[in-house]
Amino acid sequence: MKAETVKPLLRSAKATTGHRQTVPHRTASRLLAAAAAAARSRHAPFARSGSALRSDLMALDIQLQNYIVDLQSNDMFLELNGIDELARKMVETEKDVTYPLVYLLVKLVLTLPVATATVERSFSAMKYIKNLLRNRMGDQWMNDCLVTYIESDVFDSIDNEAIMQRYQAMKTRRRIL
């Protein structure tokens, strides 16, 4: 779920009828559905059983409902323009401690675009490297090439002399460079 998707959801969660009493159930349901879909993904780093997942989702549902009511009753949260400001304000007001599952959901929404861009960049580099060498290399060699290609800013900062000394020290029968 992208930040552009969550922003309108959180804004609609803050929308009231003037008395700050209504909590849009539909917004909370969307956030819970997104969390449930992410948790059920076979690629999720945490494999949870069905009952543990249900209890976590129930706890998230309760925290989310309470958090929305708390947001609507607090004037500091009414003028936020983005999910990044929401995360900062949560930490400033220590709501990240009060609502840890909601804060985790916000952190996930903030980190997903970065993680996605990193993965796409890696696959783009792999496509270039594999086409260049026409699939004639082993996995470890390709991994080494990819690291130097993807992290070129770090690789460029390493002195060439240090690389030559390291290579020379690997085996004594190598010629002196």
Query: What integer pLDDT is reported at residue 137 of this predicted model?
Result: 63
Closest CA to 20 of 74, 67, 62, 64: 74
Q: What percent of the chain has pLDDT over 70?
A: 60
Residue type (1 letter), 175: R
Q: Averaged over 77-102, what is the pLDDT?
A: 84
Q: Averaged over 49-67, what is the pLDDT?
A: 77
For the entire predicted model, the pTM comes to: 0.48
Torsion angle (degrees, nearest 10) of CA 139, 112, 105, 93 = 120
Q: Where are the domains of the chain?
A: 3-111, 116-170
Place of tokens 């349901």: 29
* CA–CA gap between residue 52 and residue 20 (Å, rounded): 34
Q: What is the mean pLDDT of the chain?
A: 70
Report the 10 Å Cβ neighbour count for 105.
22
In this structure, are residues 4 and 112 in contact, taking their beta carbons and an 8 Å threshold? Answer: no
Rounded (to 5) percent helix, strand, coil in the chain: 75, 0, 25
